[in-house]
Amino acid sequence: MTTLSKQVPTFGQYLLKRYGERVHKIALDAAFTCPNRDGSKGSGGCTFCNNVSFSPNGRQPRPIKAQLTAGRRVIRKRTGARKYLAYFQAYTNTYDEIERLKALYDEALSDEDIIGLSIGTRPDCVADSVLDLLAGYQRRGYEIWLELGLQSAFDETLAAVNRGHGFREYAQSVTQARQRGLKVCTHLIAGLPGETARHNSETLRRVLELGTDGLKLHPLHVVKGTQLANSWRRGDYQPLSLAAYVDIAADMVEQTPSSVVWHRLTGTASESILLAPLWCAKKWRVLNAITNELQRRRVLCRQVA
């Protein structure tokens, strides 16, 4: 039986090879907001982004240290890992004064077993000062990843989902980051309104042409409290089928050189808000289907050769 890591260069395998042991990410919510909501870049947010999570009193995350302690306990019990990356995941994790960013990142790195950072953000929110700060951590030996949410390289798609940025901002950020030697993981979505497999392939081509070190892919989810949910209810948006998503993901893996690490090949939303497609709640079913499809294609290729 084949496994995903035999078919695809996964982030877990990359970390295992680099550190000689398992390293896991601990996801953090540092109470950042989003400039696509507060009017500084746009308002209303992306059409697929859940409104409820933006209610002013709905989110009071615990201090970073407490989140690391809780996350470490769960991951260690489940996987036995002893080293971790602090993953600043929720919302736009570079959207604040540089002094506050430094204080938060320093706080996370002050625990011995935190060997680096993953910083999730929008491509139009990456100031030079942030890149310099991250490059400084990297020079000190920390594992640093900048995770940029691009989703699509098509400006008309980005406008249709109200992203509030275009491909140009992504190109600038990724170039600036990589010029400083920082590793970039690019986030992409399959099944965006108006897009087909051809768009995903062209997006990937443009991302690879510019250069990236890692990729994350997930199907577009329809979740409660979003403009996309209204569109889906009216029948104006059809989510991808599992078979279509598996085909797109396998095509993209085949298109990507093995030097680029896959951080994720699917994703889901919490059951309490997920409306469609319901198959994406079964993460292992999706990953197994992608693994089997890649294996099937390779066998076929060998037979033809």
Q: List contacts with ligand SF4 (CB under 6 A).
A: 34, 36-37, 45-46, 49, 91, 122
Q: Minimum distance between the CB of residue 303 and ligand SF4, rounded to whole angstroms? A: 43
| Side-chain half-sphere CA neighbours of 160 within 13 A | 14
The smaller minimum CB distance to ligand SF4, of residues 14 and 170, is found at: 170
Torsion, Cα of 44, 48, 52, 57 (10° steps)? -60
List Cβ neighbours of 276 (8 Å cut-off, separation of 6 or more).
221, 222, 232, 239
* C-alpha to C-alpha distance for 276 and 268, rounded to whole angstroms: 10
**CA torsion sign, 31 to 127 to 220 to 193?**
positive
Q: Minimum distance between the CB of residue 273 and ligand SF4, rounded to whole angstroms? A: 13
Q: Minimum distance between the CB of residue 221 and ligand SF4, rounded to whole angstroms? A: 11
Q: Minimum distance between the CB of residue 48 and ligand SF4, rounded to whole angstroms? A: 7
Q: Minimum distance between the CB of residue 177 and ligand SF4, rounded to whole angstroms? A: 18
The smaller minimum CB distance to ligand SF4, of residues 81 and 276, is found at: 276
The smaller minimum CB distance to ligand SF4, of residues 29 and 111, is found at: 29
The smaller minimum CB distance to ligand SF4, of residues 31 and 109, is found at: 31
The smaller minimum CB distance to ligand SF4, of residues 7 and 93, is found at: 93
Q: Minimum distance between the CB of residue 126 and ligand SF4, rounded to whole angstroms? A: 13
**CA torsion sign, 198 to 204 to 208 to 210?**
positive
Tell me the three state secondary structure of residue 11: helix
Structure-token pair, residue 292: 């089997």
Q: Minimum distance between the CB of residue 147 and ligand SF4, rounded to whole angstroms? A: 12
Which element (helix H / strand E) includes 18?
Answer: helix 11-19
The smaller minimum CB distance to ligand SF4, of residues 34 and 294, is found at: 34
Q: Is the peptide bond before 9 cis (omega within 30 degrees of 0)?
A: no
Give the largest CA-CA distance in the chain. Answer: 61
Q: Which amino acid, 220?
A: L
DSSP 172-200: HHHHHHHHTT-EEEEEEEES-TT--HHHH
The smaller minimum CB distance to ligand SF4, of residues 16 and 274, is found at: 274
